Chain A
Amino acid sequence: GENVEQHPSTLSVQEGDSAVIKCTYSDSASNYFPWYKQELGKRPQLIIDIRSNVGEKKDQRIAVTLNKTAKHFSLHITETQPEDSAVYFCAASPTNTNAGKSTFGDGTTLTVKP
């Protein structure tokens, strides 16, 4: 089955700096890669996603890049703010049909210091 590895497990940055979280996956059939943000005690929220036919996607301060050949994808947050502090999960899904089953990384705890 699919295996997703996520690094680093914890990341601390100063407000205004950039943060980068990296994930690798093993199943070449995976073609959908979402990123979720989870605040303490709350549900994971989709913040951005990318499909395998795209190399990069950006939404304001958040961007995701995908290298399908190397089987890795990354989340980039620029101009970080204290409210960006949360746990971030990457995921990989091997199907683009309805309700594909995702495999999640172990999460990265991001702390943005004011």
Chain B
Amino acid sequence: GAVVSQHPSRVICKSGTSVKIECRSLDFQATTMFWYRQFPKQSLMLMATSNEGSKATYEQGVEKDKFLINHASLTLSTLTVTSAHPEDSSFYICSAGQQETQYFGPGTRLLVL
């Protein structure tokens, strides 16, 4: 089946630093990947759609300069949380699509001190 990896799985950083999260489709090519944010006991909130070779499409209310997305190849998308603050602490999950079905990465738990 389709496998999506995400790295790192957990990161703790100081306020003001930037954090990069990688999402890879391991056994298939994905022209589109999605980035989600999930708060405890809540649903998946779509942040942006990452398109290979073009600019990401951000959902309303998501700051594009805060959450930089790069989709440089058919198997890799990165999310960079710039100048992170404690309110950015969350569980970030990516997904990659194969036809209609989305396959999720294992998630990255970010804690900003």
Contact B100 A93 (CB under 8 A): yes
Residues on the B chain within 8 Å of A67, using CB: none
Contact A99 B96 (CB under 8 A): yes
* Nearest neighbor of B45 in chain A, beta-carbon distance: A104
Size of the chain B interface, CB-CB below 8 angstroms: 25
Residues on the A chain within 8 Å of B34, using CB: 99, 101
* Chain B 49-85 near chain A by CB (<8 Å), digits 1 or 0: 1000000000000000000000000000000000000
Interface size class of A (residues with CB under 8 A): 20 to 34
Q: Name B4-37 residues within 8 Å CB distance of A.
A: 30-34
User: By DSSP majority rule, is chain B's interface helix, strand, loop, or mixed?
Assistant: strand
Residues on the B chain within 8 Å of A41, using CB: 107, 109
Q: Which listed segment binds B: A12-20, A42-50, A69-77?
A: A42-50
Residues on the A chain within 8 Å of B96, using CB: 99
Contact A43 B31 (CB under 8 A): no
The 6 closest A-B pairs by CB, nearest first: A99-B97, A99-B32, A43-B104, A32-B100, A106-B43, A100-B100
